[in-house]
Chain A
Amino acid sequence: MNEKPELQMPLEPERYELSAPPTYHFEIDRREWFKFLGAGLLVVCVSKSVAAAQESGGSRPAPGEALPKEIGAWLHLGENGVVTVYTGKVEMGQNIRTSLSQGVAEELHVPMGKIQMVMGDTQLTPFDRGTFGSLTTPTMNLQLRKVAAAARNLLVDLAAAQWKVDRQRLVAADGKISDPGTKRSVEYGILVKGQQLTQTVPAEEALAPATQWTVAGQPLPKVDGRDFVTGKHKYPSDQKLPEMLYGKIVRPSSFNATLVSLDTHEAEQMPGVTVVHDGNFVGVAAPSSVIASRAAAAIKTEWKSEAQPSNKDLFEYLKKNVTEGGDPTGAPTRYDAGSVEQALASAEHRLQQTYTVSYIAHTPLEPRAALAQWSGDHLTVWTGTQRPFGVRSELAAAFRIPEENVRVLMPDTGSGYGGKHTGDAAVEAARLARSAKRPVKVVWTREEEFTWAYFRPAGVIEVASGMQKDGTITAWEFHNYNSGAAGIRTHYDIANQRIAFHAARTPLRQGSYRGLAATANHFARETHMDELAHVVKMDPLEFRLKNAKDARLRDVYQAAAKKFGWGKAKSGAGQGFGVAGGSEKGGYVATCVEVAVDRASGEVKIVRVVTAFECGAVVNPDGLRNQIEGANIMGLGGALFEAVEFENGRILNGLMSLYRVPRFRDIPPVESVMLDRKDLPSMGAGETPMMGVAPAIGNAIFDATGVRLRSLPLVPNGLKLD
């Protein structure tokens, strides 16, 4: 059963939030659509240019004509009154299944229970680049609300025509149109019975302002919460098909290794086992996971690789290996204003410091998993990914088949945090399934997840600044090596700036992580701000406010400080207070932290965290609070102790017992203050609330001990005081 090598596994040395080319093909025509969905009303959101073209050719596409390509989302209202919403976004704990439903309920005036969401299925949902970058709320929520509002208007028109009355007197509420004058009413489903109505909506349509929301803006519970507390929900790793086999990959002994010898004899003798060897890819498929592991263990391999850098030389390596590349996300990498040289020369105080951040692992509690099934040259894969359409492209490329032949489905997955952008497990499962001629499921072990996924980039950040005696910052020079350009700009008002990101060769495979480099950049910037405040002996909060004009930034600082009780006297030895804040992805954050440092043992305890956050109009306050708390708690890990250790192409701490993540005893009370700006568009909240916690902790440790920490993690082995 051993196959000849014929396919190279695609190796992706680094992955950020890259965009797959929008090679979107709409496979089902309109007639097909209604055949598939049943009669009713279909509303599609398209970008303006396409909508205009549609309208000039009549408002409805001709029968058989494909739907427009630049579709953001669509919605179907069936004869039974059920509203089905189609979006390429995916749910992995950020609660968008609920918050997007809320937006639709709000505009369409239907109960939440009538809405179902179809998400992240490349065959049924519109093309989507992926679920990341806190973009779902500002874009998808808006598009769906527009689609829903258009559907409601259409329903009002239908009822008005049917009853021959002025549409102004009709009311849409609770899934019905009614006429208060005649007390007549009709359910939405009845109105569209037997019809095949379509409408396109330009993305620019005006919407009800947040001040008039009734459903959106409410703290609604998770729509399918019951499935989770009863264990009924099927994650990608829970998927199963008849005849399915369990896959297991034989991993190289180190990164960048080449296979030099292979002996699969013993494994091939095992009943029901298929061994696949294809280039550097070696794997097995077997009737149970136990036998798959046994077979993989019986395969003897020898690998060869070059010497590779280790984490003790990491920061030196990054600085020495600067490359020409820009930021992989396409973010601008340079900002200049005024003259930093002159400002530094004339400054009354100058400060120069270097900050570092380690690689860290996403450690989603559900590891990567995929189930693949071939039918001829058509491939269907269920997998946990933030980019179903990107994974479809990866699969098409790996197996040299057209994208139309590949369907990727994403059952709500056990979190991602930016770590599930690639389709590694999907490609592996599909490769095994092709040879085994049966469906194959691959679920990565925790160790594989720690080793063969990708990491948050490590980085070195150098800051040089100049300041007047009164605490006015006049010069700001900021160089980030490798960790990325997200959040690299300062939101303080400084006349002379030079800010630059420098890409570097990376010893480990790196990619997106919740908040991208904004965490590293905020850490360096906000630690440096604290150091400057100390130089001029100013209160750190006052110092920040002195240098910040941005009203939204000032508001979150003041809100956090108020809730925290900033400025109160210390009440015990080892107590320290710290503050940090900033802005990213349209959200503003400020965090105050209290720490208690035990000088004898070096133990640092986080006593309390207060985070103020503002991201425009709040859609679901409880969901938002959950995100703010979660981001701060997750942020504690990277702040205090998470770091990937590696040596010569091997991960040294790739087990849950070796890589420390926050546990119950590490968790302080996290208080959040949400500033609801109903006058501003809603922005995402999955990432930005995390930015303040690491520098605020570092600053609080300084306040408690006078020890300035400039590396993340801050205290992987406790605080060394001497």
Chain B
Amino acid sequence: MAKMQINVNGSSRTVEAEAEASLLSVLREQLDLTGTRYGCGEGQCGACTVLIDGKARRSCLTPAAAAANKQITTIEGLAQGEHLHPLQEAFLAEGAMQCAYCTSGMIMSGVSLLNSNSNPSEAEIVRFMEGNICRCGTHPRIVAAIRRAASALKESGR
């Protein structure tokens, strides 16, 4: 067990974690941030995606210790109060979910993409999102949601 500092969604939390604990297990079990989902544990599905210093990372493969003292954002920390992030809004507007188990990871990956490319083409979206699996087959809607959010962000000048 090692004590560490986890900065998540703007607040700093102290946790004790086993050496082999993943960031995913610490988020879910110790910090009750269950919006980050487990889908495979092998970096293949993207359900566990969080932002570490603004970039999409698979929390199932990230040792908790490696995330200590970095800025972590999970799906729970994306909205500003009642105000949803434009990509969250876009997922609702496009109905880009069925069971929605992939949704957290899709949104976090999408936000990471939009952070680095404010106007991604369809091909760029497909390439970037390749590591995220949706079993329900909502892919076309997810692509549409990312495009919608990109134009919303452009209009609002963010």
Contact = CB atoms under 8 A, between A and B. Distances in A.
A543 to B, nearest CB: 30
B92 A656 contact: no
Interface in B72-105: 74-76, 78-79, 84, 88, 91-93, 95, 97-104
Contacts of A634: 135-137
B90 to A, nearest CB: 9
A288 B29 contact: yes
A92 B101 CA distance: 9
A669 B140 contact: yes
B37 interface: yes
B88 A95 contact: no
B143 interface: yes
Contacts of B32: 240
B130 A228 contact: no
Given A365-B45, A366-B101, A630 B84 contact: no
Residue among A94, A222, A233, A626 facing the most chain B CB atoms (10 A cut-off): A626
Contact of B133 (A622, A630, A663): A663
B52 interface: no
B64 to A, nearest CB: 10
A443 B100 CA distance: 18
B101 A235 contact: yes
A210 interface: no
A78 to B, nearest CB: 27
Interface in B20-38: 20-21, 25, 28-29, 32-38
Contacts of A240: 32, 34
A414 B130 contact: no
Given A93-B100, A446-B42, A656-B44, A664 B25 contact: no
A25 interface: no
Interface string A335-362: 0000000000000000000000000000
Residue among B17, B41, B47, B136 facing the most chain A CB atoms (10 A cut-off): B136
Nearest to A220: B95
Interface string A394-421: 0000000000000000001111010000
Contacts of A93: 97-101, 136
B55 interface: no
A289 B25 contact: yes
Given A365-B47, A446-B41, A629 B91 contact: no
A662 B130 CA distance: 10
Contact of A414 (B28, B37, B44): B37
A392 B134 CA distance: 30
Interface bracket on B: 35 or more
Interface string B39-78: 1111011010000000000000000000000000011101
A92 B136 CA distance: 10
Contacts of B100: 93, 222, 225, 228-229, 233, 414
Contacts of A289: 25, 29
A67 interface: no
Interface in A85-131: 92-95
Interface string B99-134: 111111001000000000000000001110110111
Residue among B92, B100, B103, B130 facing the most chain A CB atoms (10 A cut-off): B100
A662 B88 contact: no
A237 B88 CA distance: 23
A717 interface: no
Main secondary structure of the interface of B (DSSP, over half): loop
B130 A663 contact: yes
B41 A445 contact: yes
B95 A622 contact: yes
A497 interface: no
A98 B95 CA distance: 12
Nearest to A634: B137
Interface bracket on A: 35 or more
Given A445-B41, A665-B126, A232 B76 contact: yes
A92 B97 contact: no
Contacts of A66: none
B133 A229 contact: no
Interface string A280-319: 0000000011110010000000000000000000000000
B7 to A, nearest CB: 18
B66 to A, nearest CB: 15
A443 to B, nearest CB: 7
B41 A415 contact: no
Nearest to A227: B100
B103 A664 contact: no
B20 A364 contact: no
B100 to A, nearest CB: 4
A23 interface: no
A226 B92 contact: yes
A417 B136 CA distance: 9
A236 to B, nearest CB: 11
Contacts of A237: 34, 37-38
Contacts of A655: 40, 42, 44
Nearest to A661: B133
Contacts of B102: 365
Contacts of A291: 18
B5 interface: no
Contacts of A657: 42, 44
A630 B98 contact: yes
A231 B99 contact: no
Given A92-B99, A414-B101, A657-B42, A290 B76 contact: no
Contacts of A228: 97, 100, 103
Contacts of A230: 35, 75-76, 78-79, 84, 88
Given A413-B99, A626-B95, A656-B44, A235 B20 contact: no
Given A93-B99, A366-B99, A634-B136, A656 B39 contact: yes
Contact of B74 (A229, A231, A294): A231
A415 to B, nearest CB: 4
A460 to B, nearest CB: 27
B84 A229 contact: yes
A709 interface: no
Interface in A315-337: none
A85 to B, nearest CB: 21
A453 interface: no
A93 B97 CA distance: 8
B40 A656 contact: yes
Interface string A646-662: 00000000011100011
Nearest to A94: B98
A27 interface: no
Given A231-B36, A365-B39, A366-B39, A633 B137 contact: yes
A232 B44 CA distance: 23
Contacts of A294: 18, 20
A536 interface: no
- Which 5 pairs from chain A and chain B are nearest by CB? A231-B35, A93-B99, A633-B137, A414-B101, A231-B75
Given A229-B100, A366-B37, A626-B141, 18 more contacts: A225-B91, A225-B97, A226-B92, A231-B74, A290-B17, A290-B25, A294-B20, A365-B136, A415-B101, A417-B135, A626-B95, A626-B138, A629-B140, A630-B136, A633-B140, A656-B45, A663-B130, A664-B125
Interface of A: 92-95, 221-222, 225-226, 228-235, 237-238, 240, 246, 288-291, 294, 363-367, 412-415, 417, 443, 445-446, 622-623, 626-627, 629-634, 655-657, 661-665, 667, 669-670
Interface of B: 17-18, 20-21, 25, 28-29, 32-42, 44-45, 47, 74-76, 78-79, 84, 88, 91-93, 95, 97-104, 107, 125-127, 129-130, 132-141, 143
13 contacts: A235-B101, A238-B28, A238-B34, A288-B21, A290-B20, A363-B135, A366-B37, A367-B39, A445-B41, A446-B41, A629-B141, A656-B40, A664-B130
